[in-house]
Each structure stands twice: as C-alpha cells, then as structure tokens.
Amino acid sequence: MTQQGVRWTADQVLALAPDAPSRKAGSKLGVAGPWSEAGSTGEGAVWGLCKGSGSKPYQTIVDIADVAGPAYKCSCPSRKFPCKHALGLLLVWAGSDGTVPDGGEPPAWAEEWLAARRKRADGKQSPPATPSAPADPEAARRRAEKRAERITAGTTELEQRLSDLLRGGTASAEQMGYGLWEETAARMVDAQAPGLAARVRELGAVPSSGPGWPVRLLEECALLHLLDQGWLHRDRLPDGLAATVRSRVGLPAQAEGPPVRDHWVVLAQYDTADSRLTTRRIWLYGTESGRTALLLSYGAAGRAPALALP
C-alpha cells in the first residue's frame, strides 16, 4: 500500500489484475474517454462511472486505504476481482491527468458502500486473549479422518459426474451453462475439497473460451480424473506424490525443510474467486537453485489479496 494521498504507478495497479486478459482489458479502460463523474478523497476512496454497452454506466468504486488490501465494488456482472473497470479506474487515477480529481465528495451510491465498510470496521473488536488449550492429537486425528472420508465421497461423486458428461459427449457442455458446474463446485466445497471446487469452476469457463474448447475441456476433465484417482488410491503412491495430491485437493501442507534463499523470478500470477474467498497464486523460479515455488495468498470476497509481486 502507498501512503494516503500518494497516487500509485501503473505497474502497481496492473499488479492487482487477476490474470493477463484482465490486465489487457483494464488497460483499454485506463483512459479518460469512458469515464465520467470520477473523483477521489484523501482517505483513499476512488470512484467513477464507466460507459459500457448498456444504457446505464457501471458504478465503480475502490477503497485503497484498507490495510488488508484494496477493496472493490462494481455494478458490472464480472466475477473477477478486481474487474477491468476497477483496474481502468485506478489507471486513470494513477495517470494524474485531472480526470480523477482529489478532494471530492463521493456520490450517494459510493458513500453508501463506504459507510457500510466503515460501520463493519468500527464494529470489529479483537476478542480477549485466552490461554490456548493444549492440542489433542487424538481429536485432530479423528477430524482428519472425517475430512478424508468427506473428500473421498466428494471425489467419488465427481468421478460419476465426469463419466456422465463424457458419456453424453463434451459438446453437450455448451448447452448446460455455468450453473451445473457451480452446483458441482458447491458439492466439492461441502466435501471440504476446495482444490477440487476451484478446478470444477474453471471447467465451467472452458465452453466459452473460443474455438477448440471441446479439446481443452477434455484435457481438463482428464486432469481432474487423474487427481480424483490419485486421491482414491493415495495409499499406493510415493510419499512425495501423495503429498502433492493432498495439496491439490485442498488439504493444507506443512512447510518442511529449511528456507531457500535465492533470486526469485515471477513466472505468473493468477487469481480465482468464489462467493467467500479470493485466492492468488504466484509462481516463482529460483535463478540459482533452479527450483520452482508457489506462493498462495487469500483475500475476502471482492478484495484482492495483499500479496502482489512485480
């Protein structure tokens, strides 16, 4: 975060983008043309109206003052956080060309959202510190077993759904719409397998990804089937591969070994979001060790994770 009153650079703004298409789309909106009634306050709020394809402009507002990371709200239907309109608004604001003046009063629709955020922040109180109870290894083991049982039930159900899809032909996925995938992802969340849920949601976007989507859908289904089978037969896998499978389905992994110091190059960054959480994945490559690493960070729904690398 920059200090309040100090405008960001374009690179800082684009580092918030969840993926490359969002960066490209946001850059196109980072000019004065589509924006009207834009403004900002010294407290870190930036807002504006962006002309879209419909009759009503999109109402976009960003709160950059939150110590946990920027928060966004836009009336567009995008599921990405931040959406291209929020990125475009911040780029225009960063440009300091007068399109987004300082010291303005937020319009009613923006003030309502900001006031609700302030009210929630004021209502949060830290619970009193209490001595932590000693860990119960037996209780932890039982919880782990119950979760493993739920994940096994979820992977079995997912295998059946993949079989039904392939039996009916991948072409039918285009007519099914996104609702089927969202419902399946919700079932994986119920099974406490967030990794599977994320991959299922990504399947829902494949039919609208352009020419050649049936091949891509088949490839993704094959990878998901491989992960399912890896979980169902994890006892037969080598320890390292079994640990990878557990991590991919969504079980937390414990850090092992000493820290690795290196010059790390950022290979890629990708954000996924659902109704409760935004997950950011940053892939790194160590120039001296030749190792790869994956950094995970999380933010509340509608808020990008604080961790962003150039």
CB 189 within 8 A of CB 167: no
pTM of the model: 0.50
For residue 2, pLDDT over 50 is answered with no
With tokens 């589509």, the residue in question is 34
Q: What local confidence, expressed as pLDDT, does residue 58 receive?
A: 95
- Integer CA distances (angstroms), 284 to 23, 73, 92, 165, 271, in order: 20, 30, 30, 35, 15
Q: Contact at 8 Å (CB) between 269 and 309?
A: yes
Residue pair 61/46 in contact by the 8 Å Cβ criterion: yes
Amino acid at the residue 8: W
Q: Are 220 and 206 in contact (CB under 8 A)?
A: yes
Q: Which pLDDT score is estimated for 3?
A: 45
Give the span between the Cα atoms of 137 and 128, in whole angstroms: 26
How confident is residue 78, by pLDDT bands cut at 50, 70 and 90? Answer: confident
Q: How far apart are alpha carbons 221 and 166 in whole angstroms?
A: 9
Rounded average pLDDT over 44-62: 91
| The two structure tokens encoding residue 201 | 């949601």
Which strands, in side-by-side order, build the sheet including 277-286? 264-273, 277-286, 292-300
Percent of the chain with pLDDT over 70: 86
What one-character DSSP code corresponds to residue 222?
H
pLDDT of residue 1: 39
Token pair in block for residue 76: 């567009």
Q: Are 234 and 246 in contact (CB under 8 A)?
A: yes
How do 264-273 and 292-300 pair as beta strands? unpaired
| Predicted local confidence at residue 5, as pLDDT | 56
Residue 126 backbone dihedrals phi, psi, to 5 degrees: -70, 130
Tell me the domain boundaries of the chain: 10-121, 137-249
Residue 190's alpha-carbon distances to 95, 157, 178, 301, in angstroms, are: 45, 12, 19, 18
Could you tell me which residues come within 8 angstroms of residue 1 by beta carbon, excluding any fewer than 6 positions away?
64, 65, 67, 69
176-301-181 Cα angle (round to 5): 15
Q: Is the pLDDT of residue 125 over 70?
A: no
Distance between CA atoms of residues 68 and 62, nearest Å: 13
3-state secondary structure of 5: coil
CB atoms within 10 A of CB 292: 11
Rounded to the nearest 10 degrees, the angle between the axes of helix 137-168 and helix 178-190 is 160
The confidence score (pLDDT) of residue 274 equals 63
Cβ neighbours of residue 171 closer than 8 Å, sequence gap 6 or more: 214
* Residue 168 scores a pLDDT above 90: no
Average pLDDT score over the chain: 84
